[in-house]
């Protein structure tokens, strides 16, 4: 998977997307005191992945995880929708797998039942961006 987490790795938040280039979901997002930092972190996550895709000469995957958690109604799904739109626009050839938690569990259980966990793993690990919500 290609992913670089800017927040928490000493990033100075340079290179965030200009507001004019925000995906529609982010234009509607109201960043308040409680979620302003996570909004910047999601933007940095996309910006770092784009920069990495442009500067990486080898096709070695870069690991990284972005975890959004919080109370219901704080904008997690809204931010993820914008992340998906920004990612697919800027990294058009990337494979994106999006599953909610129950779908992920159901598909894994089905794979175990069919004795075909390796196919499930290849599908999930083959993604450039895996989103579990």
Q: What is the pLDDT of residues 44-89, one digit of tens each?
A: 888 888 877 777 655 555 556 788 888 888 888 889 999 999 999 8
Is the pLDDT assigned to residue 10 strictly greater than 60?
no
SS3 129: strand
Token pair of 117 as six digits: 């966990």
Percent of the chain exceeding pLDDT 70 equals 81
Amino acid 66: pLDDT: 85
Residue 34: how many CB atoms within 10 A of its CB? 11
The pTM assigned to this predicted structure is 0.74
Mean of per-residue pLDDT scores for the chain? 80
Tokens of 73: 């109604």
Of 105, 95, 85, give the one whose Cα is nearest residue 130.
Answer: 95
CA distances from 128 to 9, 13, 37 (A): 20, 22, 24
Q: How far is CA 114 from the centre of its chain?
A: 29
């Amino acid at each position: 998977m290609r992913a670089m987490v800017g927040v928490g790795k000493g990033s100075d938040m340079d290179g965030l997307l200009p507001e004019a280039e925000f995906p529609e979901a982010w234009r509607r997002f109201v960043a308040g005191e409680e979620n302003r930092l996570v909004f910047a972190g999601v933007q940095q996550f996309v910006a770092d992945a784009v920069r990495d895709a442009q500067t990486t000469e080898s096709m070695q995957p870069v690991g990284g995880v972005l975890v959004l958690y919080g109370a219901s109604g704080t904008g997690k799904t809204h931010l993820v929708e914008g992340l998906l739109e920004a990612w697919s626009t800027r990294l058009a050839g990337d494979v994106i797998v999006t599953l909610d938690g129950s779908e992920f569990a159901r598909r894994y259980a089905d794979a175990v039942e069919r004795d075909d966990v390796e196919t499930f793993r290849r599908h999930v690990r083959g993604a450039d961006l895996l989103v579990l919500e």
